[in-house]
Amino acid sequence: MLYPIMTDSRMVFDLSGIWDFALGEEKLIDDFAEIKAYEPIAVPASYNDQKDINRFRNHYGWAYYRKIFTLPKILKNERIVLRFDAVTHTAVVYLNGKIAGEHKGGFLPFEIDITDKVVLGEEQELFVAVDNKINHSTLPIGNENSVAFFGSDNPGIPSVEAGKRYQSRRNIPNFDFFNFAGINRSVRIFTTPKSYIDDITVIPSVDGKNGIIDYSVDTVGSEEKIIVTVYDSQGELSAISNGKSGRIIIQNARLWNPYPDIPYLYKLKVQYGSDNYSLDVGIRTVEVSGDKLLINGKPFYFKGAGKHEDSYFCGRGLNLCLDVKDINLLKLMGANSFRTSHYPYAEEMYQLCDREGIVIIDETSAVGIGGGANPYKEYSMHAHHRDVIRDLINRDKNHPSVIMWSLGNEPELERFSQDAYDYWHSLYELAHSLDPQNRPVTVVCCQNDYTKDITTRTMDVICINRYYGWYNLSGDLDAACYALDIELDFWQKIGKPVIITEYGADAVAGIHSNVPKMFSEEYQAEYFLRINDCLDKRNFIIGEHPWNFADFDTFDGCMRVGGNKKGIFTRAREPKLLAHYLKKRWNSIPNFNYKNN
């Protein structure tokens, strides 16, 4: 799917602004006339923290957005498309009182062709119903009417049991981040000519000094001719080709390399009839070889963190300023990568990373597939998961910054090991079959009995989240390192590259202790110092992603004090002691050949 841009054939109208808003109930209403009063709300942004009112913060069910707009009559010969970059989690879109489209999944874009549905030159009413409910069919997974993820259910105590029955219906996430909802990303109307470029796919490769771009263009319409031109970063013509698909060779190509090397980008322009579209293209290769992941043929070392889209007031809403700041902080720290834990991020972030040379492990919203039951038999997210993978790859396939796909985070892999294997392997194969660049595929595994988990070891790159010294062997870093070493012996025998995609300790900024006590900044820094010593001894460990880049908001529970505090930075992006240690460490670790066999 192409990102909406303005070209000499395309217009983009941004519908961001203050919209009309009303909170609803569990069920979608039939008649919007029932809504008696609207109040202002900012779009794009989550609605939860825009008003300091409990029913906003802890809302359960549908919410309604309304926007009146008028399109100019000059669009009469154009194709007109309404595009939502992300509505969390389920959306029903109405135009002038009629359903125009529906979408499930809160982190990927969807488009509705409204050419025949809008009246130009007249006020149009756009109405968006948004459902924030999460359950066993959604991704991420929620547990409706169940015990809280971070709570204790104290089974059998009559008063507690009675209290549970008294509780109102609510969202109970099976994951550790706040269920921010609403129109979280941009809403735009864009136009194309009636014959238009529908999609572009590029596959870069390298042949000696030359760069190769295999491309294909999907079009709709009766035009015949397609011209593809490639320009260098100075705007000089590098190559030209004709036709729906083809191979472009760029002599003495400059490659896209991760920061601090140069992430060189070419501009690929496609002309089809009167339609024009242009795309940034980076020439680079990615492959797994033995226990290494190679970028441009060289063993790469991942330095960075798992992140969240999470900020004060906006919740999970688009925050471009914070994106720029976070990438800058990563660069200052000498980092080169992050994982889009635990859902696909806004497209602007990937564009920024293409430009800044930050490597992305691109994750689906499949988090929480576990929690007691056999999710592979008892949950119903299967078909949706396949749709999410298809749409994610379709959206992000051309980004040079995207180096690997993560099918999901911390599913149940140990107890129903064969069911898990069957489920995740069919998705692994799906992802490989869908990705034109055939990047490595993984699923991120939680702390489990790795000897029983038969799935993780079969992924292209093994990604493990480990909390030795925090959730287990708490406070005892000697024992934690000893235990981690035993597990690493196991992975060494598997002979594949391993990334520690999460490890960490909560530290409340400002809590200090002379001896490293849990929750202090000193304990957090000491934890990484000790664990990293273990990782440095192993050549097959090809990356370290502390959890988390910054403190983030999550839901109420007795395990969290004002959010998850495992950040290298606070939620306001102030450094903890850890940030200074990591900055020194990462600035002295090269991108390539950090570990040689």
Annotated catalytic sites, by residue?
Answer: 410, 502
**Dihedral sign from CA coordinates of 344, 345, 346, 350:** negative
**Cβ 365 to ligand BDP, closest distance in Å?**
12
Residue in 132, 192, 564, 570 binding ligand BDP, rule: CB under 6 A: 564
**Cβ 411 to ligand BDP, closest distance in Å?**
11
Residues 438-457 that bind ligand BDP (CB under 6 A): 446
Angstrom distance (rounded) from CA 473 to CA 555:
25
Angstrom distance (rounded) from CA 295 to CA 301:
10
Answer yes or no: are the C-beta atoms of 144 and 169 closer than 8 Å.
yes
Where is 501: in which H helix or E strand?
strand 498-502
Pattern 519-558, ligand BDP, x by CB under 6 A: ----------------------------x-----------
**Cβ 446 to ligand BDP, closest distance in Å?**
5
Cβ closest to ligand BDP, residue 63 vs residue 550: 550
**Cβ 525 to ligand BDP, closest distance in Å?**
17
Q: Is 125 exposed, middle or buried (0-12, 13-18, 19+ CB in 10 A)?
A: middle
Cβ closest to ligand BDP, residue 268 vs residue 388: 388
Cβ closest to ligand BDP, residue 85 vs residue 176: 176
**Cβ 280 to ligand BDP, closest distance in Å?**
31
* Binding footprint of ligand BDP, residue count (CB under 6 A): 10
Residue in 49, 78, 85, 176 binding ligand BDP, rule: CB under 6 A: 176
Q: Is 278 exposed, middle or buried (0-12, 13-18, 19+ CB in 10 A)?
A: middle
**Cβ 471 to ligand BDP, closest distance in Å?**
7
Residue identified by tokens 């601090």 is 260
Amino acid residing at 13: F
**Cβ 554 to ligand BDP, closest distance in Å?**
7
Cβ closest to ligand BDP, residue 188 vs residue 342: 342
**Which residue number is nearest to ligand BDP in terms of Cβ?**
176
Residue identified by tokens 């969807």 is 110
**Cβ 308 to ligand BDP, closest distance in Å?**
9
SS3 call for 163? helix
Residue in 566, 571, 573, 576 binding ligand BDP, rule: CB under 6 A: 566
Residues 456-495 that bind ligand BDP (CB under 6 A): 465
Cβ closest to ligand BDP, residue 179 vs residue 257: 179
Cβ closest to ligand BDP, residue 460 vs residue 506: 506
The token pair at 467 is: 């909390």
364 is a contact residue toward ligand BDP (CB under 6 A): no
Cβ closest to ligand BDP, residue 257 vs residue 447: 447
Angstrom distance (rounded) from CA 325 to CA 18:
25
Residue in 78, 85, 363, 502 binding ligand BDP, rule: CB under 6 A: 502
Cβ closest to ligand BDP, residue 271 vs residue 465: 465
- What DSSP assignment string belongs to 256-315? B--TTS-B--EEEEEEETTEEEEEEE----EEEETTEEEETTEEB-EEEEE----BTTTB
**Cβ 174 to ligand BDP, closest distance in Å?**
11
- What DSSP assignment string belongs to 528-558? HHHHHHHHHT-TTEEEE--B-SB-B-----T
**Cβ 62 to ligand BDP, closest distance in Å?**
27
Angstrom distance (rounded) from CA 560 to CA 175:
13
Answer yes or no: are the C-beta atoms of 304 and 258 closer than 8 Å.
no
- Beta-sheet pairing, 541-544 with 498-502: parallel
Cβ closest to ligand BDP, residue 248 vs residue 484: 484
Q: Is 282 exposed, middle or buried (0-12, 13-18, 19+ CB in 10 A)?
A: buried
Where is 406: in which H helix or E strand?
strand 402-409
List phi, psi (to 5°) of 160: -70, -40
Core vs surface per residue 362-390: b (16+ CB within 10 A) or e: bbbbbbbbbbeeebbeebebeebbeebbe
Answer yes or no: are the C-beta atoms of 169 and 26 closer than 8 Å.
yes
Pattern 313-352, ligand BDP, x by CB under 6 A: -----------------------------x----------
Answer yes or no: are the C-beta atoms of 465 and 547 closer than 8 Å.
yes
Cβ closest to ligand BDP, residue 59 vs residue 566: 566
Residues 389-448 that bind ligand BDP (CB under 6 A): 409-410, 446
Nearest to 69 by CA among 56, 85, 82, 88: 82
Q: How far is CA 574 from the centre of its chain?
A: 23
CA angle 443, 542, 452 (to 5 degrees): 40
Nearest to 44 by CA among 158, 182, 160, 136: 182
Residue identified by tokens 């939502």 is 84
Cβ closest to ligand BDP, residue 241 vs residue 564: 564
**Cβ 455 to ligand BDP, closest distance in Å?**
16
Contact positions toward ligand BDP, by CB under 6 A? 176, 342, 409-410, 446, 465, 502, 547, 564, 566
